[in-house]
Chain A
Amino acid sequence: MSEKILENQFQVTGMTCAACATRIEKGLRKMDGVQEANVNLALEKAMVKFDSNVMGPTDIQKKIRDLGYDVVTEKKELVLTGMTCAACATRIEKGLNKLDGVVQASVNLALEKASVEYNPSVVSTKDMIQKVEDLGYGAMIKSDENELETVDHRQKEIEKQQGKFIFSAILSVPLLWAMFGHFSFTSSLYVPEALMNPWVQMALATPVQFFIGKQFYVGAYKALKNKSANMDVLVALGTSAAYFYSVYLAIQTIGSSTHSVGLYFETSAILITLIILGKLFEARAKGKSSEAIKKLMGLQAKTATVLRDGRDEIVPLEEVISGDILLIKPGEKIPVDGEVIEGSSAIDESMLTGESVPVDKTIGDKVIGATLNKNGFIKIKATKVGKETALAQIIKVVEEAQGSKAPIQRMADSISGIFVPIVVGIAVITFLIWYIWVDPGNFAEALEKLIAVLVIACPCALGLATPTSIMAGSGRSAEYGILFKGGEHLEKTHSVNTVILDKTGTITNGAPVLTNVITEQNEVEFLSLVGSAEKQSEHPLAQAIVEGIKEKSIDLNDVTDFENIPGYGIKAVVDGKTVFVGTRRLMKQNNVNVENVLAKMEDLEKQGKTAMLVAIDGSYAGLVAVADTIKETSTGAIKRMKEMGLQVIMITGDNQQTANAIAKQAGVDHVIAEVLPEGKAEEVKKLQAEGKIVAMVGDGINDAPALATADIGMAIGTGTDVAMEAADITLIRGDLNSIPDSILMSHKTMRNIKQNLFWALAYNTIGIPIAAIGLLAPWLAGAAMAFSSVSVVLNALRLQKVKL
């Protein structure tokens, strides 16, 4: 049986640090049939590639749960129609249960309802409805009420942590008050008598330790059950040591005349409060780093005005189908991708391309869903709806990029994986050194150092360092119309030192335009004849001439006779005059003397233009030239790239002369000309063999092999025209400035990751010895640890403000 590889995503909850993510990855990779498993701590997502002949998503879900974590599932009710007996119900139930991603489905014949628990990352309600319909029944979502129940679990988590923090703070503050009452510099502070009582202190610390701190015990238990350790183990160990030692001391005071004991109830309570506060900040910041996706999703229009049966009606976006005619008023969002069939307007595409200047669109032009119609009333024909729209694809690419891992993260993961056991070892050694040598017999002092070491060493910042930067970096890039397909590309792009630019459609606009008209006759009459003759031809160069003439508002006349002479040109009769437009050979064949203009023609050809001779009634009348023009922004962008120290090379199938002419205009020094599309990949390989790290930039359609061969393949285009599948990076804006921008973004993201890793490691490596020598009180260690995670996430969020 051949392999059927599927890739599914699972929303995982219960992870607390990078060690958890590593454990899930390891557990999944050990499963038969799993080819690849990547877990992203920040996004709380697991991406699993598996052979569906061997296993299913349900097995993966079960494994994740067995490892001590949970997978987010949703429940929905479908209203069913067409069922007549129990057999129908069983049939639908079986059908739904067979769908990948459905955890459990049960059908109630009497109520005509199906209740389905499913993994929303794997299967959608649409798939379920489709399945029911395929079985010969009808189905629809019960109502919008269900949608409301699906509250973002992250928001729920934030609210829960907020409540826990407040509860824990209310009970910890009195303990802190009591503690401050004993510092020499605050000895004058009034402390209520009740707060000094060990039993009162214990009564306040106990709910914090076991009710609020339950999550750490549960996390630690799950980790230890799976023979690993995470930050929960450290927190549970540290706070339990403080709490139980204090309980022991409190019991010692019963019946004892001496009350002179040191209590640590405030240490455990305040540690838990601070760690919860850190988690709260972290959850909030993590929510912010996925804002790019939320922003993109928010761009979508909710409804569309559709022309049906001659009437316009407003329908929900989901009901728009390909081929529908949509009406879009000024100021409205374009609901789906389509083509303008009536009217013209300026369209603001900045939300998708980052390009601030609105683009003029008229009949025949393509428009992208979610862009804004500025000033005209237009009618469009929907061409792409639902998951096929440019916006849906952009969201998919960004989501995948944010969920992917950069190679640098493997290092952080492997460090945090071995960190906890080492830290426990260091803590025990610290305790023994203090108890045996430094302050022999002083258990309390040694315990304090042990707690401080355990707490300061939590590797949570290390686990967050890379994914938060990747999320923020790829999200911000998307706002500039730069879509990185994965974290590895975001990492690799900064090391690019050679950029190969395809000529047609990349440096140039990719469409020829009329550039020169040379005639000694009346230009309007001349062009009217040429345009009228060429309008019958479908050749792209002829169309460029006609377009250019129309732009000059010159009227075209009817043609009475037309002949296309392949390889030579055309012959047409306009207003009784015979017009020839074409090559030197066409003129020679028809005995037209063009000797005097050949030099001029060669001049134009040297400039990369295609010149065509025109003869009217057997005599030479003039010539017209067309050329693919350089994009306005290309020269500036190429200059920027050169200033960044990049070697810029132009590659083209054109002859050397034309290529040189374009390269000169664009400011490119190195040209590789006369290369067939399939030969481009070879050229990339040659440069790589010289040790260059090559980025290949093309339209992604005919140069896909070269894009795949290059270290980084960039597909450039405008809106819906970009072939996103072909490239590592998609540049939605057709502007070459996106290339230096993407390299710059990669540089900034990598710098941010390195800063984060540095700080995360510095906290631990500096903090541990300070705690071990006794210069860090446990509660300060807790505060520092909470601050380290928060500072790493906040640093990553700076990327969201980057200006390119």
Chain B
Amino acid sequence: MKKWILSATIYLLVVVGSYYGITAVTGPSEDPTHSNMEQHDN
């Protein structure tokens, strides 16, 4: 069970961390809040 929790958590952190890493390197995007990146309205 620990194996599953650990691997999912590490993966999540890597993905989110990569995003912030990339945005820090490339600078703020044109639309930093992505507020117009709409999710469909469920």
Residues of A within 8 A of B (CB): 159, 162-164, 166-168, 170-171, 174, 178-179, 181-183, 192-200, 203-204, 207, 253, 257-264, 266-267, 444, 448, 777, 779
Contact (Cβ within 8 A) A263 B39: yes
In the complex, A179 Cα to B39 Cα: how many Å?
6
In the complex, A260 Cα to B36 Cα: how many Å?
5
Chain B hits for A448, CB < 8 A: 40
Chain A hits for B11, CB < 8 A: 171, 207
Chain A hits for B16, CB < 8 A: 174, 192, 194-195, 200
Query: Which residues 18-41 of B sit at the A interface, judged by CB distance below 8 A?
Result: 19-20, 30-41
Contact (Cβ within 8 A) B12 A183: no
In the complex, A505 Cα to B9 Cα: how many Å?
68
In the complex, A306 Cα to B36 Cα: how many Å?
82
Chain B hits for A193, CB < 8 A: 32-34
Interface residues on B, range: 20 to 34
Chain B hits for A779, CB < 8 A: 42
Chain B hits for A263, CB < 8 A: 37, 39-40
A197/B19 contact (C-beta < 8 A), A167-B8, A259-B31 known: yes
Give the shortest distance, in Å, between A285 (CB) and chain B (any CB). 20
Give the shortest distance, in Å, between A335 (CB) and chain B (any CB). 39
Other-chain residue from B7, B15, B31 in contact with A204 (beta carbon distance below 8 A): B15
Contact (Cβ within 8 A) A259 B34: yes
Contact (Cβ within 8 A) A261 B38: yes
Chain A hits for B38, CB < 8 A: 182, 260-262
In the complex, A178 Cα to B37 Cα: how many Å?
11
Give the shortest distance, in Å, between A244 (CB) and chain B (any CB). 15
Give the shortest distance, in Å, between B9 (CB) and chain A (any CB). 6
In the complex, A207 Cα to B37 Cα: how many Å?
23
In the complex, A199 Cα to B26 Cα: how many Å?
15
Q: What are 6 A-B residue pairs whose CB atoms fall within 8 Å in the complex?
A: A167-B7, A168-B8, A174-B12, A197-B34, A260-B37, A264-B40
The 6 closest A-B pairs by CB, nearest first: A262-B40, A163-B4, A170-B8, A196-B34, A182-B39, A194-B19
Chain B hits for A261, CB < 8 A: 37-38
Chain B hits for A199, CB < 8 A: 19
In the complex, A779 Cα to B42 Cα: how many Å?
9
In the complex, A28 Cα to B20 Cα: how many Å?
57
Q: Which residue of B lies closest to A170 (CB)?
A: B8
In the complex, A715 Cα to B39 Cα: how many Å?
67
**Beyond known contacts A193-B32, A257-B30, A263-B40: 9 more, CB 8 A cutoff:** A159-B1, A163-B1, A178-B39, A182-B40, A193-B34, A259-B31, A263-B39, A444-B40, A777-B42
Chain A hits for B37, CB < 8 A: 196-198, 253, 259-261, 263
Chain A hits for B8, CB < 8 A: 166-168, 170-171
Q: Which residue of B lies closest to A173 (CB)?
A: B12
Chain A hits for B7, CB < 8 A: 167
Give the shortest distance, in Å, between A444 (CB) and chain B (any CB). 6
Chain B hits for A164, CB < 8 A: 4
Contact (Cβ within 8 A) B4 A166: yes
Other-chain residue from A162, A170, A171, A181 in contact with B1 (beta carbon distance below 8 A): A162
In the complex, A269 Cα to B34 Cα: how many Å?
21
In the complex, A197 Cα to B39 Cα: how many Å?
10
In the complex, A261 Cα to B34 Cα: how many Å?
11
Q: Which residue of B lies closest to A445 (CB)?
A: B40
Chain A hits for B30, CB < 8 A: 257
In the complex, A259 Cα to B37 Cα: how many Å?
5
In the complex, A159 Cα to B1 Cα: how many Å?
8
Q: Which residue of B lies closest to A778 (CB)?
A: B42
Contact (Cβ within 8 A) B4 A167: yes
Give the shortest distance, in Å, between B39 (CB) and chain A (any CB). 4
Interface centre among A162, A174, A178, A262 (most CB of B within 10 A): A262
In the complex, A260 Cα to B35 Cα: how many Å?
9
Chain B hits for A258, CB < 8 A: 36
Q: Which residue of A lies closest to B20 (CB)?
A: A194
Chain B hits for A257, CB < 8 A: 30
Give the shortest distance, in Å, between B36 (CB) and chain A (any CB). 5
Give the shortest distance, in Å, between B26 (CB) and chain A (any CB). 13
Q: Which residue of B lies closest to A253 (CB)?
A: B37
In the complex, A264 Cα to B38 Cα: how many Å?
11
In the complex, A132 Cα to B4 Cα: how many Å?
45
Chain B hits for A167, CB < 8 A: 4-5, 7-8
Chain B hits for A262, CB < 8 A: 38-41
Q: Which residue of B lies closest to A263 (CB)?
A: B39
Other-chain residue from A162, A170, A197, A259 in contact with B9 (beta carbon distance below 8 A): A170
In the complex, A204 Cα to B41 Cα: how many Å?
20
In the complex, A292 Cα to B4 Cα: how many Å?
32
In the complex, A677 Cα to B11 Cα: how many Å?
76
Other-chain residue from B3, B12, B36, B42 in contact with A171 (beta carbon distance below 8 A): B12
Chain B hits for A198, CB < 8 A: 37
Contact (Cβ within 8 A) A259 B36: yes
Give the shortest distance, in Å, between B29 (CB) and chain A (any CB). 9
In the complex, A178 Cα to B41 Cα: how many Å?
11
Chain B hits for A203, CB < 8 A: 15
In the complex, A262 Cα to B42 Cα: how many Å?
10
In the complex, A263 Cα to B11 Cα: how many Å?
21
Q: Which residue of B lies closest to A184 (CB)?
A: B41
Contact (Cβ within 8 A) B3 A200: no
Interface centre among B8, B9, B12, B30 (most CB of A within 10 A): B8
Give the shortest distance, in Å, between A283 (CB) and chain B (any CB). 15
Give the shortest distance, in Å, between A64 (CB) and chain B (any CB). 30
Chain B hits for A266, CB < 8 A: 39
